[in-house]
Structure 1
Amino acid sequence: MALSCGIDFGTSNSSVAIVKDGTVGLVPVEGDHVTTPSAIFFQRPNNTVYFGREAVQMFFDRAGGRFMRSLKRVLGTPLMTQGTLVNTRHMQFGKIIAAFLQNLKTQTDVFAQHDVLNVVMGRPVHFVDNDAEADRRAQEELKAIAQSVGFRNVEFQFEPIAAAFAHEVNIQGEKLAIVADLGGGTSDFTVIRLSNRYLRKADRAADILASTGVRIGGNDFDKDLSLSIIMPEIGYRSTYGEKHLEVPLHTFHQLAEWSKVNFTYTPKVIMQTRQILHQSHDRKRYKRLLQVLEQETGHTLLGAAEQAKISLTGQAEHRAAFGFIEDDFFVNIQRREFDDAIQYEVDKITASATQCLNQASVRREDIDLVILTGGTTEVPLVQEEFRRMFPKAAIADENKLSSVGLGLAYDSQNKFGDGQP
């Protein structure tokens, strides 16, 4: 029987867990790390490929090349067929994602000392909101990519259900749980009955009462923080010309999304920015935008927003440094400003959780356990909202970045067996 594994290909981070000799365990996917940033760097001139932390470091060390993150958000969108330029070479996103997944499979095979052929891939409840055809297409694209890197049998499981399976091993008796899986790109919810007695049940359909999801995650928080607090300092919503027109906003919005930053470095965008600068009513700030475009430091700009988000999980204020744009350029950010910036998104996240309860026909007070997984559940406002929604429930939030991968491996055990090579 071939070995099996579960792959959590996340918007921000990825992990793999494997079933071998009846035991489930995490795979070291980058050195000793059991999680890796979902990042890839193609170094000029030969498109030598780097992954994870190494890719991030290559980019921030200003090595020449193309840096990409949040590739999962491209699935199901027209960008999958349009492709993109990578160091002057046109490349399909399917090939780019395949390179990242191939690296995960290689690390898994080395760890297993065997060619792992069976995989359960995690997927959000909705790859694309309110578009069933795009959602179906996204899963088919990911399945084809997984098969192209050497997996023979590919199954899928909703990520919040996988997270529930990872926690179930420790649950005595039966508990009614809601899983909140808040990652970089999506927020997904499942209401499910859990018990360690159910671990090897082949059919869990009766235990899964409802699943909902919305295409909002930590990357959207980065965008909100950037547009609300940082971008005004580089000319966002400033005006120009005799008619006091607002500067074009499209470039700023692209600079605030990991998957779109690279689309701003075109001669057309740079020329337009130079022309507007001559008529700008806030030349000092708007000139900063031109510097970001000319020096191709959009990812560094957005990385500063992400770092501010992370810092504000543990402190009330963060001083963001932008010396790569201008000497002695800092922006002080208060947590309350961050909370205000993301409140609308958090409201949509909690609305999706409420929708899940309604579809399951259960009340908030019926929930015994709230399972928080995914890095975005670290955000204080998110934690406050879920503790407010479920004041009587126990909170489980261990293994935030690896529980989905573990749960997918448990699911692969049920689907493919105990992994005896």
Structure 2
Amino acid sequence: MYIGFDYGTANCAVAVMENGQPRLLPLEGDSFFIPSTLAAPSREAVSEALFRHYDIKPADKIGEQLLRRSISANKDDDIIVDAHALQFGQQALDTYLNDPDEVYYVKSPKSFLGASGLHDIQLSLFEDLVCAMMANIKHRSENQCGESITQAVIGRPVNFQGTGGSKANQQAESILRRAATRAGFKAIEFQFEPVAAGLEYESQLQEDKTVLVVDIGGGTTDCSVLQMGPGWLNKEDRTEGLLAHSGSRVGGNDLDIALAFERIMPLFGKHSTNQRGLAAPISQFWNPVAINNVAAQSDFYASANLAVLQQLVRDSAEPALLQRLLQVYHHTLGHQLVREAELLKIALSESSSASTEIRIRQETLPISCTSHELAEAVSSNADKISSLINEALSQAECAPDVIFMTGGSARSPMLRQLIEQRLPGVPIVAGDYFGSVTAGLSRWAEFCFR
């Protein structure tokens, strides 16, 4: 049996084809979407749990080395890796929010797959993280279908990283393929996510059109210019209709991070000065919320950074603010701060202002934001999205007949307005913001595996 598998930065989803139409499978209760999150008692518990309770063995000698280290570390720390050690989706997020100190929590490992400078052991850990998530989703999907699933078309962005080029893309796709193979898939194909979204939109077309697909997902924004419609449906080779592709690692997560940095981190000392009037290093406020940046997270939570933060508190003209930053360090609260920013952003997709509260020990910190403040906070990211549209249109050397917007962040009125201003008069169609890619992947899976 085959599936279309959207292994997304924010959420994962799976679809099958039934009677010529995609059907998304419930993956978490009645929801078709499961957050791309994982929680475990320790980082090392992931590799050990895969081996002990999922019967998934390491793929190579580096993986074996990681497994031996993990088992030893868990034993030394008296961590018991039982059958329930790994948690996924909303359950993983709830566990983290309930007690950040006592859990290893990962959101969106897809964001890291194309990162440069990773050591072999880090690549092996990311492969284990992805494998665990894929195995969990495969198992849930098989429970829904009542049969084994061995074939999958997996979606991928045009570019996993903005600066890594083809090498980063090869690294990321290799991790996905190896993880999927270890999770039990026997035949694996990949398809660009914007192309998949376009394939789903194409099913509605009554005549051939040139379509600009703008897919603003959790981790990346991808644009494709495609020739689509009834005249293209039955063609075995559609290469001539794939006119242009552009993509970069700028998506919903980046908007959340930018909003957290601009609107939340001032409550933790950003913009404050020391007693001599000098500003604190800006990296100390960026790194904790840069949850999709391995180096930034490592630098902030490094043991050596504790002394730096403590000195900042002593020197600060507003030490109470910097004390809050210390709490972020001690209780690993970066993900929680970005989550609050994400909720603000979502609320602002339906209202011109929104507010929330953050609890830091005994304090309750009120936070508010307007649509204008959101636009200011994410302006540099919005400019990157505009540049990607320009790049795709320049490659295609033609104007689109219609714009198809998809991806969770495509709901933003601000981003829709940006595209309207760039291409005035071109109609914009919004599909299923979260399900179009998954549905299109299942259509392509039918083409690949029929």
Paired residue for 1:88?
Answer: none
| Residues 202 and 228, structure 2, Cα contact 8 Å, conserved in 1 | yes
CA-CA distance at 1:254 after TM superposition: 2.2
- Structure 1 residue 300 corresponds to structure 2 residue 298: no
Distance 1:200 1:25 in 2: 21
Counterpart position of 1:162: 196
- Structure 1 partner of 2:284: 251
Match of residue 87 from structure 1? none
- Secondary structure, aligned partner of 2:128: helix
Higher relative contact order, structure no. (Cα contacts within 8 Å, ≥ 6 residues apart): 1
**CA-to-aligned-CA distance 1:123-165 (integer Å, 9 cap, x gap):** 1100122422122111112111111111111111110000001
CA offset at residue 269 of structure 1?
2.0
- Residue pairs, 1:259-298, within 5 angstroms: 259-260=292-293, 263=298, 264-298=300-334
Matched, 1:83 2:122: yes
Supply the distance in 1 between the matched residues of 2:6 and 2:103 (Cα, whole angstroms). 27
For 1:19-418, list aligned pairs within 5 A.
Answer: 19=17, 23-43=21-41, 45-47=79-81, 48-62=85-99, 64-77=102-115, 78-79=117-118, 81-83=120-122, 92-130=125-163, 131-240=165-274, 242=276, 244-260=277-293, 263=298, 264-363=300-399, 367-417=400-450
Could you give the per-residue CA deviations for residues 84-121 of structure 1, whole angstroms, max 9, x where no partner exists?
9xxxxxx8121111101111111222222222111111
* Structure 1 spans left out of the alignment, 5+ residues: 85-90
Separation in 2, partners of 1:106, 1:343: 41
User: Are residues 235 and 106 of structure 1, via their aligned partners in 2, closer, same or farther at CA, if it must alter by over 3 Å?
Assistant: same
- 2: distance between equivalents of 1:369 and 1:258? 35
70-79 or 301-310, which moves further after superposition? 70-79
Deviates more, 1:320-329 or 1:4-13: 320-329
Counterpart CA distance in 1 for 2:446 and 2:309 is 55
Question: 1:341 Cα shift?
Answer: 1.1
Structure 2: any 5+ residue segments left out of the alignment? Answer: 43-78
Q: What amino acid is the match of 1:330?
A: P
Q: Read off the aligned partner of 1:6 and give its amino acid letter.
A: G
Query: How big is the shift at 1:259?
Result: 3.4
For 1:393, what is the secondary structure of its paired residue? Answer: coil
Percent same amino acid among aligned pairs? 29
- Tell me the matched-pair count: 405
Deviates more, 1:283-292 or 1:293-302: 293-302
| Whole-Å separation in 1 of the counterparts to 2:121 and 2:312 | 30
User: Retained in 1: the 8 A contact 2:38–2:86?
Assistant: yes
Which amino acid letter does the alignment assign opposite residue 15 of structure 1? A
Distance of aligned partners of 1:197 and 1:256 in 2 relative to their CA distance in 1, 3 Å threshold: same
**Distance (Å, rounded) in 1 between the aligned partners of 2:252 and 2:395:** 25
Give the TM-score, by structure 2 length.
0.85
Task: Name the TM-score, length of structure 1 as normaliser.
Answer: 0.90
- Matches of 1:80 and 1:305, distance apart in 2: 31
Distance in 1 between the 2:169 and 2:35 partners? Answer: 24
- Per-residue CA deviations over 1:310-336 (Å, capped at 9, x if unaligned) read 111112222231223552421222221
What is the RMSD of the two structures over their aligned residues, measured on CA atoms? 2.1
The residue type equivalent to 1:351 in the other structure is: S
Please state how far the C-alpha of 1:60 moved relative to its aligned partner.
1.8
1:385 & 1:110 partners in 2: Cα distance? Answer: 43
Q: Deviation at 1:376?
A: 0.8
